Amino acid sequence: MRYLFQGDSITDWYRGNYDDPHATGCGYPRILEAELTAQDGDCEVLNCGISGNRVVDLLARWKKDCLNLKPDVLTIFIGVNDVWHELGSQNGVAPALFEEVYRILLRETFTALPQTRIILMGTFVTHGTATDPEWETFYNEVKIRRDITRKLAEEFHLDFVDLQQVFDEAQEKRPAEHWTIDGVHPTAAGHWLIAREWKKTAAIS
């Protein structure tokens, strides 16, 4: 069984060598690699997350970093930079284009890898130094991308992980800074939350 995680810095999280998908980094893919390989020594966990990526960046490298790798289970976690890059440098991805490109990614995958299981992760934010200066805009725009991701999951009958709900519930027990460094990037505890929810969705004990 080959698992592939695709996304931005949250998935990347210090994996270092972008030419080596076996470099799983220090975040939730590494946590899952430890658990999955402990249970099944023949399984393979790959990470092709790249810091700063938007959905359009995924499209540019999709054949090389996804289709050619032929995963059995593909997880896509993208969306926050499509908002953040707009707020910071006016280089984000508008909702309509986000949906169009995401749909292309999925259709290309269905065509090339019809047996691959796909899990979509809904992006999230908490209060923090990166999000608070424009909190309402940041939160609302992220919600739009998350809702698009959910809609695509429903349309194509894919698994969906609502991480905003997960982090909202976690903040009822501990403050935002326990779960994220800056409102976007998870702490170690935040990465554990993501891994836990992925396991629930993937139905892996």
- Catalytic positions, written as ranges: 9, 182, 185
3-state secondary structure of 46: strand
> What is the rounded CA–CA span in Å between residue 156 and residue 118?
10
> What is the rounded CA–CA span in Å between residue 149 and residue 162?
10
Pairing of β 44-47 and β 2-7: parallel
Residue 9 belongs to what H/E stretch? helix 9-12
Phi and psi dihedrals of 126, rounded to 5? Answer: -125, 175
For residues 197 and 169, the answer to whether their CB atoms sit within 8 Å is: no
For residues 56 and 101, the answer to whether their CB atoms sit within 8 Å is: yes
Structure tokens at 41: 């020594």
> What is the rounded CA–CA span in Å between residue 41 and residue 56?
35
